[in-house]
A and B are shown apart, each in its own frame.
Chain A
């Protein structure tokens, strides 16, 4: 090994604290890069494999009822490579040991096992057998939630008849990676399940002999991304059979959410590591510049001996290389483990046959490469300085540091009031421009991360509170299979322990304005509704217009429409005639793409006197009253589902809490590393270069703690400046994130209550003080007498 290499290794050992500080920043950057890219790859790989395995459909068309012979024509439409008609209905699920009626989606499958579009992957038990017709395959999540096993019996309310079914197996399907019940925003396997039945039995039970009410199909590769034309043609072709909605894969709810999550990972996999690696490069730049300055004489001596510039340049660059390699290697390993932790969290949300944390060599190679490049970049300036130093110049004493006044000294009124300690601190901070700038930048990045984290947490809490306490005030929402008359409302009012029952009419429809279309629905509410109170983002209640529509801004944006415009509304059910309806008001909203109308107005729109598709209930009493209500609900005809607001809130909190805690821990940890390491690095560098100054102060009679106090002042000046800049930066970053994540389903609110600002600032101080504790320890151990002998 060359002597220069020996020198390097020993110097690395001596500077282990500084090295650790910088490497930790690199580690965190690479860790986040490898973790997120791995997660991205894990999910994408799992999605691709799963979709291929289950022959995932490219389109879904819901119909009223169409003969199978007619549906066979779908295969002949240009662009369609195959299709499968099936029967699908929502149902109430009656489990013997569950008081509450649960919700379910019943789907037909061929009686004999063969590859089909939207196929299932068996988890337990078997596919259908010839033994009986009323066999059912239950989705695995629901089965796990209720301990349902093959051989168990349960009851489904199908077509107003209570049907006993026998479970033969449990399965999963790529169609329901993220299985949402009607109106839900999170999977809740406790409340909602998917039930696969034999197609011929479904025909019998639902009075659909020789027919189907849904067709799913796959498209040829060239038209897959631009399926609009094909879907329009299919809709037109199936119009006589009451084609209700045509949904492309990109709009299918499970795929939409999964794809959004994958996309989000791709974005974060760039932003987060970028922040850390830039900070690492800057901090390393400061360290290397200081190291070269400190080794001026050594560099000059080596040049005097005859070492050429190239060799010395390489020698100092290797320092950065080692930081990059160490950070890259450790970060990659940690990143893989972190990806594993998040992959486990994803199992709570997404149902895959195989979602594993795989090793992605390309991702690890990227992590190490980026790490090394970053570290080399950070070392470049220092190494170049070593190269530029002429031997003679290196041998000369360094000229004393600039003795000019700083800007603050012009305000003598303030300056005179400052103690010697503060003057020293301010001068040191103001004179070391680069080091101060790097420290401020690093801290601001760390604090902005904290702001981002806390604001995200607050946003989710706010959303849940807003949606489920301010807008939704009901205890239960009953959903019927189809529109019913006012009798359904009266019946609901007579249910046990019901204080108030309000009608709801949801009409799925297509909105058209000019050349813009949107497929959604209108929610009809009573004008004086108290159990659902639409609100704008300011929290103000919105009144339902007696005629016309109250539309959320997102829908208006999609239609390019404004208040006062007439939109064409075409319900997907019923007479399905096009009607021109005015937009009375547009309001900003967080959740969903809601459109509201007066229930009477909406009923007339669909040619009904008064129709309800659901009823919202406010109830009273305790568990006994609740059980009585559930018993009665199970007997209610045509009930599709009975959702409990509190259970939805509990499910949301429980599901989100786990991933939230992990994310918070990770991001606070990351922010801590940035702030802690940059403060530590700057302090240790400062300590090293001011050894003689410190020794002199000790000679004068200053104690170690007093000297520590001098450095602490400098740290706090830099740190707090960074924190103060980081707070609004974090706020702006959050807003940018909200805009990047703008989805139809949800818009994150921008909320930053005092605790967010205060906690971020407090943590900045805590990180700085923690780093300073190490510096103080070094000061206490300093051999200041020897330092007086040290020559530059």
Chain B
């Protein structure tokens, strides 16, 4: 199965970029069976900023993994355009992650033995048409720190490198797992501003998962999760600017 990377080709008959249909996911953690998701149905639209909130264990990370092609659901379907990711093989999921998704992790997940530039290059070297590495580093405000190692950077700087790494592939969708979770208040807001600008200026679809309900204020739509289920979805008529939110 080919994975189309054109946005217009990716829209399905309801205009959603991504569609989760009754997705469930369980997995074995040591001796315990964990039901991470139960019959989750959800649409994601192009160029929206979607925030999923829920407490720890609500299934946020699992949804992100399923949407990001990192994991397959135990049941249900995950549609990206005409393609059902739940039926895709490993090679197809790899291509999907490479060409369509940009991941930003809570703890940055930078390779400690690579500089900032090299961490971004780790992503740019495997796609056919990446953005310019130095441009992307400049966009996230790290042009002067490009040759520093993660151990020589603050948390905020490391997270910005992580965002640059995700962005350099020019992905359609950026998935952010608690992007401010390891950061202080001010740094966290700067990171959120960066993400908002990527949606506004580059038209990226941004999905943020967080337990911090204050962050939901910047979203176009908010999905509430609890115990692996969607318990509510609401639209923010007037999303707040990241600088104005407080937690």
**A interface vs B, CB < 8 Å?**
2-4, 6-7, 10-11, 14, 297-298, 300-309, 311, 390-393, 395-396, 399-400, 791
CA distance A786 to B70 in the complex (A): 31
B95 close to A (CB within 8 Å): yes
Residues 62-108 (chain B) with a chain A CB within 8 angstroms: 62, 65, 68, 70-71, 90-91, 94-95, 97-99, 101, 103, 105, 107
Min distance, Cβ B92 to any Cβ of chain A, angstroms: 11
A-B CB contact pairs (8 Å), 30 listed: A3-B122, A6-B118, A7-B113, A11-B113, A297-B107, A301-B109, A302-B111, A302-B122, A303-B70, A304-B68, A304-B70, A304-B109, A305-B103, A305-B123, A305-B126, A305-B165, A306-B98, A306-B99, A306-B101, A306-B123, A306-B127, A306-B169, A308-B91, A308-B94, A309-B90, A309-B94, A390-B71, A391-B70, A392-B70, A395-B70
B30 close to A (CB within 8 Å): yes
Whether A304 touches B103, Cβ cut-off 8 Å, given contacts A390-B70, A390-B71, A391-B65, is yes
Min distance, Cβ A385 to any Cβ of chain B, angstroms: 15
Min distance, Cβ A238 to any Cβ of chain B, angstroms: 81
CA distance A6 to B90 in the complex (A): 26
Closest to B115 in A: A6
Whether A399 touches B29, Cβ cut-off 8 Å, given contacts A2-B125, A305-B126, A306-B97, is yes
> Which of these, B29, B68, B111, B165, contacts A298 with CB under 8 Å?
B111
CB of B114 within 8 A of CB of A396, answer no
A302 — which chain B residues lie within 8 A by C-beta?
Answer: 111, 122
B70 — which chain A residues lie within 8 A by C-beta?
Answer: 300, 303-304, 390-392, 395
CB of A307 within 8 A of CB of B126, answer yes
- Number of B interface residues at 8 Å Cβ cutoff, please give it: 34
B192 close to A (CB within 8 Å): no
Min distance, Cβ A692 to any Cβ of chain B, angstroms: 15
CA distance A300 to B71 in the complex (A): 11
Interface centre among B62, B107, B111 (most CB of A within 10 A): B111
CA distance A84 to B136 in the complex (A): 91
A311 — which chain B residues lie within 8 A by C-beta?
Answer: 126
A11 — which chain B residues lie within 8 A by C-beta?
Answer: 113
Min distance, Cβ B107 to any Cβ of chain A, angstroms: 6
B118 — which chain A residues lie within 8 A by C-beta?
Answer: 3, 6-7
CA distance A301 to B98 in the complex (A): 11
B216 close to A (CB within 8 Å): no
B137 close to A (CB within 8 Å): no
A305 — which chain B residues lie within 8 A by C-beta?
Answer: 97-98, 103, 122-123, 126, 165, 169
> Which of these, B30, B97, B119, B127, contacts A391 with CB under 8 Å?
B97
B195 — which chain A residues lie within 8 A by C-beta?
Answer: none
CA distance A307 to B123 in the complex (A): 8
B111 — which chain A residues lie within 8 A by C-beta?
Answer: 7, 298, 301-302
Closest to B165 in A: A305
Min distance, Cβ B184 to any Cβ of chain A, angstroms: 16
A400 — which chain B residues lie within 8 A by C-beta?
Answer: 30
Closest to A297 in B: B109
CB of B105 within 8 A of CB of A301, answer yes
Q: When A and B form their complex, which 5 residue pairs have the shortest distance between CB atoms, in order from nearest?
A: A306-B98, A392-B71, A399-B30, A391-B70, A10-B113
B121 close to A (CB within 8 Å): yes
B61 close to A (CB within 8 Å): yes
Min distance, Cβ B163 to any Cβ of chain A, angstroms: 13
Closest to B98 in A: A306
Min distance, Cβ A379 to any Cβ of chain B, angstroms: 18
CB of B103 within 8 A of CB of A301, answer yes
CA distance A393 to B91 in the complex (A): 17
Closest to B100 in A: A306
Closest to B162 in A: A301
CB of A396 within 8 A of CB of B29, answer yes
